[in-house]
Amino acid sequence: MLRLDRLRNGRPRGCNENRSHFDEVPMRWIVTIAAIAAWMAAACEDVSLVESAPTMDLGATRIEFGAVPIGGAASRSIEIQNPGKGDLRLAEPTFEEDPDGVFSVPELDAKISPSDKGLLTVEFRPKGEQRYESRLVIEGNDADHPRAEVIVGGWGYRLGSIDVTPLVVDFGRVHVGAVGVESVLIRSVGLGELVVTEIALAPETHPDFEILSSTQTPATLPRGVDIPLRLAYRPGPDSPEPVESYLFVRSNDPFQPEIAVTLRAGLNRCPVADAGPDLDVGAMETAALDGSASSDPDEDLPLSFAWTLVNKPEGSNSLLADAELEQASLTPDLVGVYEVELAVTDSQGCACLLPDRAVVTAVPAERLLIELVWDSPLADLDLHLLAPGGTLGGPLDCSYSNPAPDWGTEGETEDDPWLKRDDLMGFGPEIIAYGEPVDGVMRLVVHYFSSHTPSGQEPAAATMRVYVNGLLGAEISRALETQGQTWTAAEVLWPEGTVSEVDQLE
């Protein structure tokens, strides 16, 4: 500021009075200069040449996000106040110790006026199940405090983390007609609830794969809860070879929204039973059954065999021999039809879907055949064939006491009857066969030989069947009560081959 001393005698104080040229300055100039100096001094007192300083004041020194699901985001904001007298200008914030880049500043008021406030927004996007912490550095034009720090932290967790085991389900080889069952375990392993949104087989899945458990979705599973999912492979007779298929499990797991479970299986096709051709044999002749034509399409050899006699004439006591072998045998004890079935099983335990059946027909080889059966296991009944003029126990009686009489040409057996089977106790049959019967009337008699009881009483329902030239000529039944009874059942007239029922009990 220019200061002017008070003038004395029209001259400035301290001036050299010998300088005569000062005296020559006009007074009005001096007054003008003084006025200008006074104005400049007043202006300098009102205008500051230094800008006023701002102040950076943060509303918090820590931001805690807590637990945030992986794949999600959370944001927090703090205030930045400027109580200073100048504008507060902020640089772009930075994060120290944040290598994964989970923290960011999507919003910042970079200029804050004096006595005003702004917002700093921080966002947290966790990428893993862990604790995250970083230092947020904020720099501004506050001369006293140009740098401020805020500690930011939070946890990342999986909201609905899923675990599915196993990822490959192998049913192994499953027999046709059988069911292979396996399980898949769906587990909720995250820190929050798991929402299973869909459980489904892929559209191209092999038709023999199926889900046995409920697949109602959405299903919410708390942490640590398991769901066992039961799956089946059910091949049928016409099933194609299985191909690799898939089960999809979809959920709200952000890292595994869809899990594919591979389904595999092998098909064990059933063996095919072949019981061989139908057979015709005579009564008491052995029929050889042959299952060697049975096969297995997968060559799972050797095969196991099981023969079963499923049907036989009433009164027959015939049984299969070697029923567990490839070749079995059957000896019919009565004339009639016998049905046998053969079932085979391969070396892997797969049985044929259907057994094969063979028919054994027992036909009389002789022109006249008589059979006797009864229903008591104790009674012993004897069958007698009496030639014309014959009596019980005589030479013209073919029975247990004379099983092969010589009735025709002496020494020739073709024209003689013979007792093919004698049963000593229970059920029978007793059989008499006659190749070339003599002419005349022959009688058919049953003698109740023994009841095998102390009382001699034992009911026995007897049935006689007479076959002429291979055909059933008569079937006659009678109830016998006591040992010693004699039942004349019928007469046969030869060569006519007619059978007449007598049914006389003595």
Round to whole Å and give the CA distance between 107 and 155. 22
Asked, as a colleague might, if the bond just before 429 is cis with ω within 30 of 0, I would say yes
Which stretch of 13-17, 221-225, 362-366 has the lowest confidence by average pLDDT? 13-17
The helix (run of H) or strand (run of E) holding residue 42 is helix 27-46
Residue 347 identity (one-letter amino acid): S
Cross-strand bridge partners of residue 361: 280, 337
Domain for residue 299, yes or no? yes
Q: What average pLDDT does the segment 296-309 reach?
A: 96
**Residue 52 within a domain:** no
The string of pLDDT tens digits covering residues 233-263 is: 999 999 999 999 999 999 998 889 999 999 9
227 and 306 part of one domain: no
**pLDDT, average across residues 175-186:** 95
Residue 87 domain-assigned? yes
In this predicted model, what pLDDT tens digit does every residue of 56-73 receive, in sequence order?
Answer: 999 899 999 998 988 889
On whether both 499 and 393 belong to a single domain, the answer is yes
What's the chain's length in residues?
Answer: 506
Higher pLDDT, 32 or 235: 235
Q: What are the backbone dihedrals phi and psi of residue 40, each rounded to the nearest 5 degrees, phi first?
A: -65, -35
Number of domains present in the structure of the chain: 5
Work out the end-to-end distance of the chain between its first and last CA atoms, rounded to an integer number of angstroms.
174
How many CA within 13 A on the CB side of residue 421? Answer: 23
Q: What is the mean pLDDT of residues 287-310?
A: 97
Which of these three, 314, 344, 362, is where a domain ends?
362
User: Is residue 273 situated within a structural domain?
Assistant: no
Please compute the mean of the pLDDT values over residues 18-36 and round it to a whole number.
Answer: 49
CA–CA gap between residue 305 and residue 259 (Å, rounded): 46
For 118, the domain range is 57-157
Residue that terminates a domain, selected from 243, 268, 293: 268
- DSSP per-residue codes, 95-137: EES-TT--EEEEEE--EE-TTEEEEEEEEE---SSSEEEEEEE
pLDDT of res. 112 = 95
The percent of the chain in helix, strand and coil, each rounded to the nearest 5, is 5, 50, 45
In contact, 474 and 492? CB cutoff 8 Å: no
Spatial strand order in the sheet of 74-82: 57-58, 74-82, 116-124, 103-108
The values of phi and psi at residue 218, to 5°, are -75, 150
Give which of 230, 130, 227 is closest to 188, Cα–Cα: 227
- What does the pLDDT read at residue 25? 47
Q: Kind of pairing, strands 194-201 and 245-251?
A: antiparallel
Among 63-72, 165-174, 225-234, 441-450, the least confident range:
63-72
261 occurs within a structural domain:
yes
Examine the pLDDT at 22 and tell me if it is beyond 80: no
- Token digits of residue 217: 């979705």
pTM: 0.59
Residue 2, domain member (yes or no): no
Do residue 81 and residue 64 come from a single domain?
yes
Distance CA(148)–CA(120), nearest Å, equals 12
Question: Quick one: pLDDT at residue 506?
Answer: 94
pLDDT surpasses 90 at 283:
no
* CA atoms of 341 and 276, how far apart (whole Å): 10
The CATH code of the domain that includes 350 is 2.60.40.10
* Confidence (pLDDT) at 190: 79
Examine residue 102 and state whether it is found in any structural domain, yes or no. Answer: yes
Per-residue pLDDT of 219-233, as tens digits, reads: 999 989 999 999 999
Give every CB contact of residue 492 below 8 A, 6+ residues apart in sequence.
368, 437, 441, 442, 444, 466, 468, 473, 498, 499, 500
Q: Are residues 488 and 376 in the same domain?
A: yes
Whether 390 and 407 share a structural domain = yes
Query: Which CATH number fits the domain that encloses residue 423?
Result: 2.60.60.30
Q: Are 316 and 333 in contact (CB under 8 A)?
A: yes
Residue where a domain terminates, one of 138, 157, 176: 157
Indicate if the pLDDT at residue 312 is higher than 70: yes
Q: Are residues 144 and 199 in the same domain?
A: no
Q: Which residues contact 235 (CB under 8 A, 6 or more apart)?
A: 174, 175, 176, 177, 178, 208, 242, 265, 267
With vertex at residue 400, the alpha carbon angle to CA 407 and CA 449, rounded to the nearest 5 degrees, is 135
The helices-and-strands tally (H runs, E runs) of the chain is: 1, 38
Q: Residue 28 has what pLDDT?
A: 55
pLDDT at 15: 38
| Domain identity same for 434 and 496 | yes
In a domain, 1, yes or no: no
For residues 347 and 386, state if they share a domain. no
Q: What is the pLDDT of residues 124-154, one digit of tens each?
A: 999 988 999 999 999 999 999 999 999 999 9
pLDDT score, position 36: 55
**pLDDT for residue 411 is more than 90:** no
Q: Are residues 350 and 393 in the same domain?
A: no
Alpha-carbon distances of 340 from 101, 118, 274, 308, 309, rounded to whole Å: 82, 99, 11, 5, 4
Sign of the C-alpha dihedral computed for residues 407, 410, 412 and 418 taken in this order: positive
191 pLDDT band (50/70/90 cuts)? confident
- Mean pLDDT estimate for the chain: 89
Q: Are residues 413 and 319 in the same domain?
A: no
Cβ neighbours of residue 145 under 8 Å, at least 6 residues apart? 55, 56
Distance from C-alpha of 116 to C-alpha of 124, rounded to nearest angstrom: 27
- Residue-level pLDDT at 33: 58
Residues 126 and 72 in one domain: yes
Q: What is the pLDDT of residue 310?
A: 97
- Secondary structure letter of residue 24 according to DSSP: G
Q: What is the rounded CA–CA span in Å between residue 60 and residue 57?
A: 9
Query: Are 212 and 190 within 8 A, CB to CB?
Result: no
Tokens 């030479």 belong to 395
Largest CA distance in the chain: 210
Q: Which amino acid is at 297?
A: P
Q: Is the pLDDT of residue 54 over 60?
A: yes
Domain match, 385 and 498 both: yes
